[in-house]
Structure 1
């Protein structure tokens, strides 16, 4: 049933009830089973005016975590099962088992999810005239259309390169939540085609990080991904990327020190115990009701998700009336249905402070994240659309969505979710050795 709900398309004539059913699918539907950096503030600098690379793009800062142990062992999983196997040969249903987590190369992955501030810097670089020719923005992302979840406002009368703005200051350091794969790939292409201004490595004694300062490019259609090809894959051996499913899983769960089960954790926050349900799940975050900042970070381990028997983490921008956040929505849902369907808000990136085995933050909970891994469509669905894997749990979903077996999939161009699902995020990766001065 969850898979069926996930595949519904937006139809304007649907009744409020049917819309609610679709929206209520939550992450459990989005991640339907299938067998088949610092926050990085964006500098307010001159923007480009052409379609190609330009030295006038906005400058953003990204921090990545280094992931080593190349050639680490993979494990077997059965989608959404509370178990882990040393190989698929040892799984009770080998034909339904997926082998995940093994990566042969060294790489880096974003310490944090891409923030709203970083995304706005990209929007004003990629679309300085505010024409939205690439479909990078939807009206439902505005604070007027969707007070509770609207992150970004658009002004047609604004100056060149300034049409998009963070809706309220509190949103600047929250994850961008309206991504599909194509939007995420265009962001990565802007990084790839941009100019690497500086690169600095650091270590806290346990984890190793790299901080990049990049001037974004307006060139978004080619770079690491050639978007003229629907089934695009990585075109280069070095540069910014979206993580693959295996890269994402390794960074979230694989413990090079041998902790967990077969060296894999159950949650990106702590080893947990496979087979115990949510008994060893992390604690849920509590958010400041007006800012979305995490207020219980001293309680570890911690993640932004909807724990059983507790309210989902939630907040409403302090500039708004609480009634607006609880009633106004672009789907036309009545207040009671809206309150039932839309639970859980995105919290400040890194606010939970609980690291994965490699030093990343928020891979468990907050926003679900795209990978560039292509997968077969669900049984009975057309193969004409390209489907990609997603991972990460979410602020409105239970603990099981943070398991390594929570292997999600979505069409890469699902416009319906652009209108209705404000929890789809981006985490970048890096392959190869990037050199400052390159563009």
Structure 2
């Protein structure tokens, strides 16, 4: 995933998340990308408990020991194994997972993230750099999701910028922020756990009272190359866990049992011909208005406008010109087109029942990878997947294996489409 533009005059801007793949989406009954009932994630404070309680629903991913497949980064092809790929050196084996696990049905929302911020930073001092000023609606009208009020009471300094943002994915995550969120869950108190099913999909719904403890838990943040410390609990998905949940069809659909998109099997080698339809968003709320069109994903299809909205409380001028980067209106309009849509409203499911793994926000995994050629090996690089609402269809392919430094401060300021989805391993 790269955001490339010239800062010396900003004569040319390219905002494209390179190397981000989408989550698989399958049909509930036929394997063709059927829609699911619209879920509503929770993030509100429960006064009967001691802290903020959030509700998270996961899907169960079975078929342990499924075969992996070979991919060449960003190539429109899939191989039964790397031995079949034209370049063995570049080929990556992905998607095979030898155990059962769970992955979030939805991306983590702004409402849930605000509950987390007020839990771990009740004084609003931002010691852990979990918040950036560009996340505010004042600094960035169109994309600002969260406001920070220094004068608010303890545990209330952070708030959802506008009500319309509550059910959108949090979009300013780096790996360290995401890992701290997981640690807050891991160290938190399990209030309830409920299983359910619909068709072939199996779900687990957790209510968790968040913990203020973020530096230790599933991840030891004192170690830059931290990996999972425990065999059971909340995690960030690994690259293989993410890809399997998005693309692997246990019923054998697709190519070698893998789909091209998290929304539908597609056809490898046909470019974007079998890509899902792009979402259309209500201009003042970001709600999906064409959910009846299936399969569907929030991405920027060629020849069509990117899915976009801006809070209706703002003026058209603020939405089209206000930005913290100093871009003039023309450059800004070219660079920042796509917007995040309400989670789950595209309704197209992966083979396991997840939503929005294709498009919307790109998502962090905890998989460490080597840096790109010529880049510093002193930083820790991690894989990301899923495509974004501002990027073309190819970023939803399983071969879109994006990578970024886990602590990219530049992206914290400039990139409003970086999200996360939790996972669960063990019991």
TM range (shorter): over 0.9
Unpaired runs of at least 5, structure 1:
32-36, 48-54, 434-439
Maintained 8 Å contact 1:16/1:333: no
Matches within 5 A, 1:316-395: 316-395=310-389
Matches within 5 A, 1:186-197: 186-197=180-191
Q: Give me the whole-angstrom Cα distance separating, in 2, the residues matched to 1:41 and 1:170.
A: 14
- Runs of 4+ aligned structure 1 residues displaced above 4 Å come to none
Task: Report the equivalent of 1:50.
Answer: none
Task: Report the equivalent of 2:44.
Answer: 43
CA drift of 1:38 comes to: 3.6
Task: Report the equivalent of 1:408.
Answer: 402
Question: For this pair of structures, how many residues does the alignment match?
Answer: 411
**Richer in helix (by share):** 1
Task: Report the equivalent of 2:303.
Answer: 309
1:27 has 2:17 as partner: yes
CA drift of 1:41 comes to: 1.7
1:116 has 2:110 as partner: yes
Matches within 5 A, 1:279-318: 279-318=273-312
Maintained 8 Å contact 1:202/1:210: yes
1:399 has 2:372 as partner: no
Whose RCO is larger (CA < 8 A, sep 6+)? Answer: 2
Deviations 1:81-118 (A, max 9, x none): 00000000000111100000000010000000000000
CA drift of 1:39 comes to: 3.5
The alignment's TM-score, normalised by the length of structure 1, stands at 0.91
CA drift of 1:393 comes to: 0.7
Q: Give me the whole-angstrom Cα distance separating, in 2, the residues matched to 1:345 and 1:130.
A: 27
Maintained 8 Å contact 1:270/1:301: yes
Deviations 1:131-154 (A, max 9, x none): 000000011000010000000001
Maintained 8 Å contact 2:20/2:387: no
Deviations 1:35-59 (A, max 9, x none): xx94422122479xxxxxxx73310
Matched position secondary structure for 2:164 = helix
Match of 2:143 among 137, 149, 172: 149
Task: Report the equivalent of 1:213.
Answer: 207
Unpaired runs of at least 5, structure 2:
22-37
Output the aligned Cα RMSD.
1.7
Q: Give me the whole-angstrom Cα distance separating, in 1, the residues matched to 2:69 and 2:19.
A: 24
CA drift of 1:29 comes to: 7.0
Q: Give me the whole-angstrom Cα distance separating, in 1, the residues matched to 2:275 and 2:157.
A: 42
Maintained 8 Å contact 1:39/1:112: no
Q: Give me the whole-angstrom Cα distance separating, in 2, the residues matched to 1:39 and 1:89.
A: 44
Deviations 1:245-299 (A, max 9, x none): 0000000000000000000000000000000000000000000000000000000
Maintained 8 Å contact 1:241/1:430: yes
Matched position secondary structure for 1:390 = strand
